[in-house]
Amino acid sequence: MKATTKKLIRYIVLILVALLVIIQFYPIDKSVPDYNPAGDFISVTQPSEEVEQILRTSCYDCHSFETRYPWYSSVAPVSWWMKDHINRAREELNFSKWSQYEIKKADHKLEEIVEEVEAHAMPISSYLIIHTEARLDPEKEKALVTFIKQLRDN
């Protein structure tokens, strides 16, 4: 390899490292807006302890204001990707705002939960890579789907 090529590679690596350091000064917003915990899905629907645990382990990190941010959520650009994912998940379904949904919208959300869980689309595979405990085995899936269907029948 020529000396000029080595210098160019070294220069590019230094620029990339500098950029990686600089972007760390732009953290994500982890603040939680004011909301009424009494209006949360679990508070409103009173699931069994088993179903509550499933919801908290497999759903609430992305679909509520109870997100538990791991250490790597402080490292850009991974943090930016995570925050975007969480924001989009909360826009689709936010368990913390459950009591704010109109009856028809809430019923539709319940229907979508059943569809997503039965299709094995939730929790998403990228989340399950690190959060293996969130995986829904057939028993957990059945318990969650049964509970949601019972809510829809009432």
pLDDT average per 10 residues of sequence, the chain (154 residues): 83 91 90 92 98 98 95 92 96 97 97 97 94 96 98 89
Whole-number Å distance between alpha carbons of 91 and 102:
15
Has residue 8 been placed in a domain?
no
Number of domains the chain is built from: 1
35 within some domain: yes
Q: What is the pLDDT of residue 7?
A: 87
Q: Which domain holds residue 122?
A: 29-153
> Residue 22: inside a domain, yes or no?
no
Does residue 16 lie within any of the structural domains?
no
Assigned domain for 5 exists: no
Note whether residue 124 is domain-resident: yes
Q: Is residue 114 part of a domain?
A: yes
* Cα–Cα distance measured from residue 84 to residue 81, given in angstroms and rounded to the nearest whole number: 5
CA distance to 13, 23, 75, 76, per residue, from 51 (Å): 49, 40, 33, 34
The confidence score (pLDDT) of residue 4 equals 84
Instruction: Name, in order, each residue with C-beta under 8 angstroms of 127's C-beta and a sequence gap of 6 or more.
Output: 61, 62, 134
Cα 127 from Cα 86, distance rounded (Å)? 11
pLDDT at 1: 65
**12 located within any domain:** no
Q: Which amino acid would we find at residue 138?
A: P
